[in-house]
């Protein structure tokens, strides 16, 4: 197993890095409130229940996710990985207009995808093409930028890909605001809400 991250995330519902209405109108406060307060919280609560009294109690999420996969504990993997993914998703976003793409990251994207617009196009195609529930990611894979998806609760860092940012493409992330229009949601998030500083920080970590 080649774990491509060095974060240590506690098993608890993190504070959101912005107010629940801070991502409007791209993501409504209603969506954020359900997504964070119900979906994310349930993954945390389930993880805590499943590790209670086991050797994983008190361990960071990263270790729990890796152990659950290794031991084939599907229920624990799904909940712990979803807890980790949501924590990373909230940090991947920022209020519209608050973060410009740093020059260093822009150069990396232009080197990998020819332009930021072309990158956004390719990211959207890949995200829309993820069949069913999952996640779209910008990752560093062997030092090169790549766009990948994981299905359901999957994380990219268990097979050596370092995540820079993610977009949740489960229906619960967009259905209240966009119904079935996943493409419109992904395009709006890419255009308005990506925390490019967070992405660059992950690239350099
Ligand atoms: Mn979600």
Domain limits, the chain: 29-92, 103-204
Rounded to the nearest angstrom, the distance between the alpha carbon of 184 and the centre of ligand 1 is: 17
Confidence at residue 133, expressed as pLDDT on a 0 to 100 scale = 97
Rounded to the nearest angstrom, the distance between the alpha carbon of 1 and the centre of ligand 1 is: 25
Buried b (16+ CB within 10 A) or exposed e, 69-95: beeebeebbbbbbbbbbbbbbbbbbbb
Rounded to the nearest angstrom, the distance between the alpha carbon of 194 and the centre of ligand 1 is: 16
Rounded to the nearest angstrom, the distance between the alpha carbon of 148 and the centre of ligand 1 is: 17
Q: pLDDT (tens digit, 9 = 90+) per residue, 132-155?
A: 999 999 999 999 999 999 999 999
Average pLDDT, the chain: 97
Q: Is the pLDDT of residue 105 over 80?
A: yes
Mean pLDDT of 12-23: 97
Q: Is the pLDDT of residue 51 over 80?
A: yes
Rounded to the nearest angstrom, the distance between the alpha carbon of 32 and the centre of ligand 1 is: 10
Distance between CA atoms of 124 and 62, rounded to whole angstroms?
28
Rounded to the nearest angstrom, the distance between the alpha carbon of 98 and the centre of ligand 1 is: 23
pLDDT tier for residue 2 given thresholds of 50, 70 and 90: confident
Mean pLDDT of 161-177: 97
CA distance readout (Å), 187 to 91, 123, 191:
18, 9, 6
Question: Phi and psi dihedrals of 131, rounded to 5?
Answer: -75, 125
The CATH code belonging to domain 103-204 is: 3.55.40.20
Residue 95, Ramachandran bin (φ over 0: left; ψ between -120 and 50: alpha; else beta)? beta
Rounded to the nearest angstrom, the distance between the alpha carbon of 143 and the centre of ligand 1 is: 28
- Per CATH, 29-92 and 103-204 having the same topology is answered no
Q: Is the pLDDT of residue 203 over 90?
A: yes
- Please give the CATH topology (third level) of the domain spanning 29-92: Helix Hairpins (1.10.287)
């Amino acid at each position: 197993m080649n774990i491509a991250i060095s974060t240590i995330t506690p098993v608890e519902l993190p504070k959101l890095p912005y107010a629940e209405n801070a991502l409007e109108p791209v993501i409504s406060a209603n969506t954020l409130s359900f997504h964070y307060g119900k979906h994310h919280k349930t993954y945390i609560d389930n993880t805590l229940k499943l590790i209670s009294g086991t050797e994983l109690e008190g361990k960071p999420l990263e270790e729990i996710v890796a152990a659950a996969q290794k031991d084939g504990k599907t229920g624990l993997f799904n909940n712990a990985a979803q807890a980790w993914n949501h924590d990373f998703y909230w940090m991947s976003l920022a209020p519209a207009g608050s973060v410009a793409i740093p020059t260093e990251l822009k150069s990396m994207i232009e080197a990998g995808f020819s332009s930021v617009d072309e990158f956004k196009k390719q990211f959207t195609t890949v995200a829309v093409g993820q069949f069913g529930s999952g996640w779209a990611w910008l990752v560093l894979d062997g030092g090169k930028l790549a766009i990948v998806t994981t299905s359901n609760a999957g994380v990219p860092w268990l097979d050596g890909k370092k995540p820079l940012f993610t977009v949740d493409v489960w229906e619960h992330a967009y259905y209240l605001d966009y119904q079935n229009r996943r493409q419109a949601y992904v395009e709006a998030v890419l255009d308005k809400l990506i925390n490019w500083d967070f992405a660059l920080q992950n690239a350099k970590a």
